[in-house]
Amino acid sequence: MARVFSGIQPSGELHLGNLLGALVNWVDHQKSHDAVYCIVDLHALTLPKDPEDLRSSSLELAQLLIAVGLDPDKSILFMQSHVPEHPQLAWLMECTVSFGELNRMTAFKDKSGRNEFISGGLFTYPALQAADILLYDTDLVPVGDDQRQHIEITRDIAERFNSRFGDTFVVPEHVIPPAGARIMDLQYPEKKMSKSEASPAGTINVLESQESINKKIKRAVTDSDGEVRFDVDEKPGISNLLSILAASTSSTPEDTALSYSRYGDLKNDTAEAVIELLRPIQERFRELKSDPAETNRLMQLGSSKAQEIASVTLERAKNNIGLLKP
């Protein structure tokens, strides 16, 4: 069974776009792959963070991922900082990647241009990301085209290390994940749904109240011609509602459109479907939130499983590069 690795930062609340666009695929991968999922809290340190915010957002993300359907008995779910092999291998990766390769990373250029303080970690984080992936003998990394550069540099690092020091790492393949629903902002349907701070009225968080979901969907931007059809270019607002309703009910936007002639009915049913989709997730999240010790137990279980794999890979890399055993 092929091993798949995915990571997610504890930054901001999960929203409907995260759920329907990516996390449903993570849940499905548990059935068909040897799945490893990591909350990359060390990556979050590349930008300034309030310590208490980081702690609470990391715990909340773990609870949400379990509530969404990641099963610690079917996959490995763990906190990056709980497995010390990650920063240890990252140093070997930093010594294998070149300054020029790091300097060409578009994500660094984008983030460094938007922040007053630019940490060294922001520049070298592709080395840590490579360590994240390579520690687990990962076969497949499912990411969109916008993340392709990160996988390419990981492959380059692995191939260079293997060439210099002998067969050490599995060279992972970049795969386009199954097409999840492309969920757009409810107020600006030409833009992808993003964090609620950027567009409070256009974003539905996974923990949103029923009242708020109703209000936001009923106020969603549409158009004035009154025809319900799936046409992203000509009718982005209506198409977005159809995408949300279809993804929430395991249908297609085109088939869903055939059932509607009025915008109001479409909005009502979309709101109801989203509420029903999120209800069991919110209930499970509340259970976990009321018992943080259970979340910690599950995360420790995941960390132990992750470390069993990671420690073997790290020792192999240290031995091959010439570090003396203690």
Q: Please write the tens of the pLDDT for every residue from 232-247.
A: 999 999 999 999 999 9
Statement: residue 260 has pLDDT above 70: yes
pLDDT at 91: 98
Statement: residue 143 has pLDDT above 90: no
pLDDT bucket at 312, cuts 50 / 70 / 90:
very high
Question: What are the tens digits of pLDDT across the range 275-292?
Answer: 999 999 999 999 999 999
**Residue intervals in the chain for CATH 3.40.50.620:** 3-180+292-321
pLDDT at 48: 87
For residues 163 and 14, give the distance between their C-alpha atoms in angstroms, rounded to a whole number. Answer: 40
Task: Determine the 3-state secondary structure of 222 from DSSP.
Answer: coil
How far lies 235's CA from each of 174, 226, 227, in Å? Answer: 33, 10, 9
Q: Which residues are catalytic?
A: 111, 192, 195
Residue 91 burial (CB count, 10 A): 13
Statement: residue 180 has pLDDT above 70: no
First to last CA, the chain: 35
pLDDT, averaged across the chain: 93
pLDDT at 214: 97
pLDDT bucket at 266, cuts 50 / 70 / 90:
very high
For residues 17 and 204, give the distance between their C-alpha atoms in angstroms, rounded to a whole number. Answer: 8
Look at residues 27, 64, 309 and name the one whose alpha carbon lies nearest to residue 177.
27
Lowest mean pLDDT among 1-5, 198-202, 304-308: 198-202
pLDDT bucket at 122, cuts 50 / 70 / 90:
confident
The CATH label, of 3.40.50.620, 1.10.3720.10, 1.20.1250.20, 3.40.50.300, for the domain at 3-180+292-321 is: 3.40.50.620
Span 60-72, average pLDDT: 96
**Residue intervals in the chain for CATH 1.10.240.10:** 210-286
pLDDT bucket at 196, cuts 50 / 70 / 90:
low
Lowest mean pLDDT among 42-51, 188-197, 257-266: 188-197
Residues belonging to the chain: 326
Sequence-distant (6+) residues with CB within 8 A of 92 are 131, 161, 317, 318, 321
pLDDT at 36: 98
Kindly tell me the burial class for residue 151, based on how many C-beta atoms sit within 10 Å of its own C-beta (0-12, 13-18, 19 or more).
buried
pLDDT bucket at 144, cuts 50 / 70 / 90:
confident
| CATH fold of 210-286 | Tyrosyl-Transfer RNA Synthetase (1.10.240)
